[in-house]
Homo-oligomer: A and B are copies of this chain.
Amino acid sequence: MSRYLRNTWYPLTWSSNVERSLKRHTVIEEDIVVYRKVNGEVAALSDACPHRLAPLSIGRLIGDSIECGYHGMTFDCSGQCEKIPGQRRIPSNLQVRSYPVTENMGMVWIWMGDEEKADKSKVFDLKEFHDPKYSYVLGDALHVDANYLNLADNLCDPSHVAFVHQSTLSNKEHGEVPVHHERLEDRVVTWRWINDSPLIPVFKGLVDFGGNVDRWHYYHYFAPSVAMIDFGSAPTGTGAEQGNRDNCIQMFACHFITPIDERTCIQHWLCVKNIPSDPEKDAKLLAGLRMAFDEDKAVLQAIQKNEDKLVDFKRVRIAIDVSTVKMRQMLQEMIEEEQLESIPFTEVV
């Protein structure tokens, strides 16, 4: 059984990273050549010429087609071979796989499964990203030497914050605040409120409420590849937990995870916020978030090394694992359902 969901929009790379040139990317262990067509749309093909396996990404982009750099076999942006040097006949089934792609929120997204099921309207979206009352900062494409599900765990798990991010996102006193969770149709949500507490380090300098705040963290995990963390603070006593957040700072940290293989993934992150763009403050915010996500990366990479060695180790499960367990169950069910669907229907007599 495949270890990856296929019928889903995976984040591929920043839109700004796709130009009129050939670049190789890897998603769920498949190498893909990506480029921008003359009309500005993105194209993605399997990155191996079917003749001798030369990567198409070392070939030449000619119009919307790729000419293989070894013998000049040429494929259009649908993957269809349109030229074979030395022969006239071109089999109509001589093609490389093409992948549906779309763009949203500054990212290119790629569909690794059944092309007929690729519905561009279903790509992840956060409406505030497009809302002029909000601004955003694009973060990094962090190369993490860890299984993407360990990163996913991390992104639906408020409990680690007090221990990993004491200097950025939290402070240690709040390790014991209760955590809630709920599995919805399309996601697992995990949240907690930390009320009457000082402003966290990354918010400092961005707002000043003149005293303690009520702080929330809502972790929305859309399996397999998108985490959106809604976190913010409002002055204590103004009723934020009860729904009144008129005077507050709010951020949506979006993490788009590209699984490369069982031991490697890329974490693209960006942050949407209800405060206006400001070069100095944005730079400070980026630096603070970057520090936090690098802290996670260090932990996740150390865990991966232990996992590689301790293959049969039986982990213990504790109370705070409920969300991560639900998230993995949800993904597992999605993978199983997908594979059931791909079995051809046979009438039972």
Contacts and interface: CB of A to CB of B under 8 A. Distances in A.
Contacts of A150: 52
Given A72-B159, A86-B175, A86-B176, 14 more contacts: A31-B309, A51-B321, A67-B163, A69-B164, A70-B163, A70-B303, A71-B157, A71-B163, A71-B318, A71-B320, A85-B175, A85-B320, A86-B319, A87-B318
Contact of A53 (B68, B310, B320): B310
B53 A85 contact: no
Nearest to A81: B316
A315 interface: yes
Given A72-B162, A164-B70, A306-B31, A315 B53 contact: yes
A177 B164 CA distance: 63
A69 B150 CA distance: 15
Interface residues of A, number: 52
A58 interface: yes
Given A303-B53, A315-B50, A72 B163 contact: yes
A307 interface: yes
Given A48-B310, A306-B31, A176 B85 contact: yes
A271 interface: no
Number of copies of this protein chain within its complex: 3
A160 interface: yes
B85 A313 contact: no
Contact of A316 (B85, B94, B159): B94
Interface string A33-66: 0000000000000011011111100100000000
Contacts of A164: 69-70
Contacts of A321: 51
Contacts of A305: 55
B299 A48 contact: no
A316 B51 contact: yes
A73 interface: yes
B58 A299 contact: yes
Contact of A315 (B52, B163, B320): B52
Contacts of A302: 54-55, 58
A179 B86 CA distance: 8
A53 B313 contact: yes
A73 B70 CA distance: 51
Contact of A306 (B54, B176, B303, B309): B54
19 contacts: A29-B309, A31-B306, A31-B309, A48-B310, A50-B314, A51-B315, A51-B321, A53-B303, A58-B302, A70-B164, A71-B160, A71-B163, A71-B318, A72-B163, A85-B162, A85-B176, A85-B320, A86-B320, A87-B320
